Amino acid sequence: MAAVLFVERTAGHVDRSDVTSAGLGPAGLSVPDEVLEAMARRGSDLTAHRSITLTEAMVEGADLVVGMSLRHVQEAVLLVPSAWKRTFRLKELVHRGEFIGPRLPGQELAGWIRGVQDDRPRAALAHHSPAEDVADPYGGPAGGYEATAVELEGLTDRLAALLWPPR
């Protein structure tokens, strides 16, 4: 859901990189009906989407790795330890980005990410704060999927505004 929402919010930005969605589970699975319904209400059709398992090559090739939970970040960093400085939970990235401010005109994405990373200790990988995770609604009630979609809309709006602030 986050990848689709972010792509929709950043369409038209010529310097936007490709956005790929990957997870920790098996590849090839279809999207749960509850996700299809939540995203259909937002005008997105995910019926053709199939899951992709996160790989070392994906992490190595990414300018920015964004996970929904600490476990996602931990797994990405385990695959590629040097990715720590460009791997964040979505909420963490938005909060830290709002603290330092939006990307400046002409500023490379890598420079903005370095500012967001700044003094973030690697020990953060060992300290779980559920408040910084996006709740995974999988297996829960249908309303949980809608609540997650609403939360992701807000977070992807905020991230898009940080990376491509209105001029």
**pLDDT tens sequence across 5-52:** 999 998 877 676 789 999 999 999 999 999 999 999 999 999 999 999
| Residue 19: CB atoms within 10 Å | 14
Strands (E), the chain: 65-67, 87-89
Q: 29 and 6 in contact (C-beta within 8 Å)?
A: no
Longest Cα pair distance anywhere in the chain, in angstroms? 44
pLDDT in tens, 57-77: 999 999 999 999 999 999 999
Strands (E), 10-49: none
Q: 94 and 155 in contact (C-beta within 8 Å)?
A: yes
d(CA 50, CA 22): 10
Integer Rg of the chain from CA: 16
pLDDT of residue 18: 85
Into which CATH architecture does domain 2-163 fall? 3-Layer(aba) Sandwich (3.40)
Q: Locate the domains of the chain by residue range.
A: 2-163
- Between strands 65-67 and 87-89, the pairing is parallel
In 108-126, which positions are buried (b, 16+ CB within 10 angstroms) versus exposed (e)?
Answer: eeeebbebbbeeeeeebee
pLDDT in tens, 137-148: 988 998 999 999
The model's pTM:
0.92
Q: What one-letter code names the amino acid at 153?
A: E
Structure tokens at 113: 């990410």
Rounded mean pLDDT of 72-99?
Answer: 97
